[in-house]
Structure 1
Amino acid sequence: MSGIEFYTNRHIVSEVDSMRQKLGVLAKQYSATSAIIITDAGISQLGYVDIAQQSLQEAGVQVVVFDGVVADPPIEIVNNAIDLARTNQCDLIIGLGGGSSIDTAKIVALYPNDFQSITDILDIDLSSFKKLPLFAIPTTAGTGAEATFVSVITAKDGSKKAIYTPKILPDVAILDATLTLKLPRHITAATALDAMVHCIEAYTSRTKKNPISDALAIKGLQMLWNNFEKVLQQGDDINARADMLLASTLAGIAFVNGSVAAVHGLSYPLSINFHIPHGHANALVMCPVFSFNLPEAASMYAELARAVMPTQTSTMTDLEAANQFILQLKNFLEMSGLKYRLSELDITEKDIPALADIVISTYARLIATNPKDMTLEEVTTMYKEIL
């Protein structure tokens, strides 16, 4: 086994109502005097920003709010958030919301350094950069952004740009399941399937698989697997919601240290070109990719199958267990209520060659971590399987 470097948050709080009860207390532990809450308009309308503000203000922390984040945040939006933080000399950065809000907050936390736009810091070494204290408070159980040191933003040409450095790992993750109770069923499903993909790809990574990530991936997947139907059918079950939220964080820690792979490679063009939400896009392509990987990954999928379906798979061969694992993931997708054919999402056969070309030309790094190499023709075939 090669050497391991492993990163995770300094402090994780997993507790119902913890944003209300502990955000201000934790802010003072970091000597905060002025905080910026980075979120989107929908989260503001739900009243969650008001709860966060009150907790901070009761602790004597001044607060400004940037609620202009949108999905797949464009560079311009992130620059606007940086400008607001700089103007108010904020010394605590809080990302409240889904992955886009938290990813935006990660970059804003670098604002004390000498740059005018995010474009100035893409593709450079950020190891010497200063970072302000950074809190992440997820409102979905899926992206794992609260536990990762990658921020994905959208360039002017529509391509996704990643800033990937332990420098932007959130210091504190607050996992408050009450913030997920109002999630619509389709978002609950898509984000849960996203987190499952994170666990599976971390566990089967060709380049960064390691025992620490493996343990977290297995535990996270078990919690997601056991609660998936429950949160779809009983969205107000706070215990199931709390398990899903913690599992998403475990998945995030696993994949940022173990890597994601070709599922993400095939999903990104769907999000960029057709605006399919990231979790839904991952769910669409996961089964074709996992089936394609079987010649190299059957034993690992079998290990995961035995962890989540021990009785059902105990007497199966590795290949049988792996196929049963993929079949159940397909059942989860069908159960979710999400559209699971590309044609249902206005994608036609003539769109597929361009999508496959993007995968091979732009996301080769994600093919490199996949258990099995794939060609342009093989990517094309996988897209056609779900047309």
Structure 2
Amino acid sequence: MNPFTFNTSKSVRFGTGALAQIGDVVSQQIGQRVMLVTDPGMMATGIIERALSLLKEAGVEVELFKDVEADPPENIILTAAAQARQADVAGIVGLGGGSSLDVAKLVALLAAGNEELKDAYGVGNAKGPRLPLMLVPTTAGTGSEVTPVSIVTTGTNEKMGVVSSVILPDIALLDPQLTYGLPPHITAATGIDAMVHAIEAYASASPNNNPVSRLLATQALSLMGRSILTAVNEGANADARADMLLGSMLAGQAFANSPVAAVHALAYPLGGHFHIPHGLSNALVLPHVLRFNIVTAHQPYAELAPFAFPDLAKLQGQERAAAFCDKLSDLALACGLQPNLRAMEIPREILPRLASDAMNQTRLLVNNPRPVTEADALAIYRAAY
């Protein structure tokens, strides 16, 4: 067995109604004066109001930053970090979707005052220290609450990552009730995103692909494969929502240590140029990347397939891997997601630009089980069109 490293958040608290713990946990483990990082959409849900009330009851003073944007640009992160420093907070709480959690990670890093954002991009460049950090997800998709990754939009349309175990949070607090109000299309897109995390982690060519990540990936796919359609169609179904949130976290733990690959690399330019939500971007290219991969590396997908779709157990080898690709495509459609790039009104003439931009995602492409050239990327985008 090859040597490997497995890192995850120090503490995970999961349970229906777990938000009720936020005051006591923050007071005891994060600090008496914290910044709560969230977005305008969350402000309209009543969840933030409840969290603020619980924190106040526990004697915690809160500096609120509520201006997180989807695909957060650098200026949002820098503004939040400056506000945290000025308020002299002792810790950070991120509450919301993946963008809010990603911003909270970097605010915790930058507010400590020893690093600049431009120096933290890449793998292992963020050195710390950081402020104490708790993350509370309200979507079942990114797994950001247990990953050492934060994605930032730089310039006009390019995304870069900060990847470092330093930004793994101290506490991940997961309450399925916080996801009950998610609209079907967000439930679908974030759910497919989480499934992609499990699939790419299991098949990753990373030298740190390991038995722990693979085990977590299979459990994640089992939970989400059986529950995603129910969660989409019955938003308040407690069992389905719990399965999806736990599955998303397990997939996050998996890819945090066995990194994702070409699906994400080809999804990022779609988000950068057209502001397509990340989960939907993944869904649009997922089956086409996998069909490309199984030509030379079908085995991991054949192994995974029955965990998500038990009826595929009757097939074998390449046939099972191909059926897995088809099932994933059918699942996205059944969830109500758009079927192709054309449906997103993406002009066909920009596909070469997307392929060129995807090749900048070297951090991700190196993990793909089949090497991807620019010509390959263009062919995949054309297949997805």
TM over 0.5: yes
What corresponds to 1:314 in structure 2? Answer: 313
| Alpha carbons of structure 1 residues 131 and 178: separation in structure 2 relative to 1, 3 Å | same
Pair 1:199-2:214 in alignment: no
Q: Secondary structure at the match of 2:376?
A: helix
d(CA) in 1 for partners of 2:96 and 2:30? 23
d(CA) in 2 for partners of 1:128 and 1:318? 44
State the shift of 1:126 in Å: 4.9
Q: Secondary structure at the match of 1:337?
A: coil
For each residue in 1:72-98, what CA deviation from the matched residue of structure 2 results, as whole angstroms up to 9, or x when unmatched?
111111111111111111112011111
d(CA) in 2 for partners of 1:27 and 1:200? 34
Unaligned runs of 5+ in 1: none
What corresponds to 1:218 in structure 2? Answer: 218
Q: Secondary structure at the match of 2:338?
A: coil
Asked if 2 retains the 8 angstrom alpha-carbon contact of 1:79 and 1:117, the reply is no
Asked if 1 retains the 8 angstrom alpha-carbon contact of 2:4 and 2:209, the reply is no
| Alpha carbons of structure 1 residues 52 and 309: separation in structure 2 relative to 1, 3 Å | same
What corresponds to 2:369 in structure 1? Answer: 371
What corresponds to 1:73 in structure 2? Answer: 72
Pair 1:328-2:327 in alignment: yes
What corresponds to 2:46 in structure 1? Answer: 47
Unaligned runs of 5+ in 2: none
Pair 1:104-2:103 in alignment: yes
**Mapping of residues 234-313 of structure 1, within 5 Å:** 234-310=234-310, 312-313=311-312
Q: TM-score, normalised by structure 2?
A: 0.96
Pair 1:173-2:172 in alignment: yes
| Alpha carbons of structure 1 residues 204 and 123: separation in structure 2 relative to 1, 3 Å | closer
What corresponds to 2:383 in structure 1? Answer: 385
d(CA) in 1 for partners of 2:339 and 2:31? 46
Asked if 2 retains the 8 angstrom alpha-carbon contact of 1:97 and 1:137, the reply is yes
Letter in 2 for 1:185: P
d(CA) in 2 for partners of 1:119 and 1:241? 37
> Which deviates the most, 169-178 or 194-203?
169-178
State the shift of 1:191 in Å: 0.3
Q: Secondary structure at the match of 1:297?
A: coil
State the shift of 1:289 in Å: 0.4
What corresponds to 1:30 in structure 2? Answer: 29
For each residue in 1:73-132, what CA deviation from the matched residue of structure 2 results, as whole angstroms up to 9, or x when unmatched?
111111111111111111120111111100100011123443585235445965642111
> Which deviates the most, 221-230 or 339-348?
339-348
> Which deviates the most, 320-329 or 63-72?
320-329
State the shift of 1:186 in Å: 0.3
Asked if 1 retains the 8 angstrom alpha-carbon contact of 2:149 and 2:163, the reply is yes
| Alpha carbons of structure 1 residues 22 and 204: separation in structure 2 relative to 1, 3 Å | same
Q: Secondary structure at the match of 2:8?
A: coil
State the shift of 1:365 in Å: 2.6
Letter in 2 for 1:358: D
Asked if 1 retains the 8 angstrom alpha-carbon contact of 2:24 and 2:58, the reply is yes
What corresponds to 1:190 in structure 2? Answer: 189
d(CA) in 1 for partners of 2:200 and 2:31? 37
Q: Secondary structure at the match of 1:70?
A: coil
Q: Which runs of 4+ in 1 moved over 4 A?
A: 123-128
Asked if 2 retains the 8 angstrom alpha-carbon contact of 1:149 and 1:169, the reply is yes
Paired-residue identity, %: 39
Asked if 2 retains the 8 angstrom alpha-carbon contact of 1:305 and 1:322, the reply is yes
Matched residue count = 384
Asked if 1 retains the 8 angstrom alpha-carbon contact of 2:213 and 2:257, the reply is yes
| Alpha carbons of structure 1 residues 267 and 30: separation in structure 2 relative to 1, 3 Å | same
State the shift of 1:367 in Å: 1.7
Asked if 1 retains the 8 angstrom alpha-carbon contact of 2:34 and 2:91, the reply is yes
Q: Secondary structure at the match of 2:110?
A: coil
For each residue in 1:261-292, what CA deviation from the matched residue of structure 2 results, as whole angstroms up to 9, or x when unmatched?
00001100000011111000000000000011
**Mapping of residues 51-62 of structure 1, within 5 Å:** 51-62=50-61
| Alpha carbons of structure 1 residues 242 and 3: separation in structure 2 relative to 1, 3 Å | same
d(CA) in 2 for partners of 1:60 and 1:44? 21
Letter in 1 for 2:28: Q
State the shift of 1:172 in Å: 0.6
Pair 1:232-2:232 in alignment: yes
d(CA) in 2 for partners of 1:238 and 1:42? 23
Q: TM-score, normalised by structure 1?
A: 0.96
Q: Secondary structure at the match of 2:232?
A: helix
The root-mean-square deviation of aligned C-alpha atoms, in Å, is: 1.6
What corresponds to 1:93 in structure 2? Answer: 92
Asked if 1 retains the 8 angstrom alpha-carbon contact of 2:147 and 2:168, the reply is yes
Letter in 1 for 2:244: M
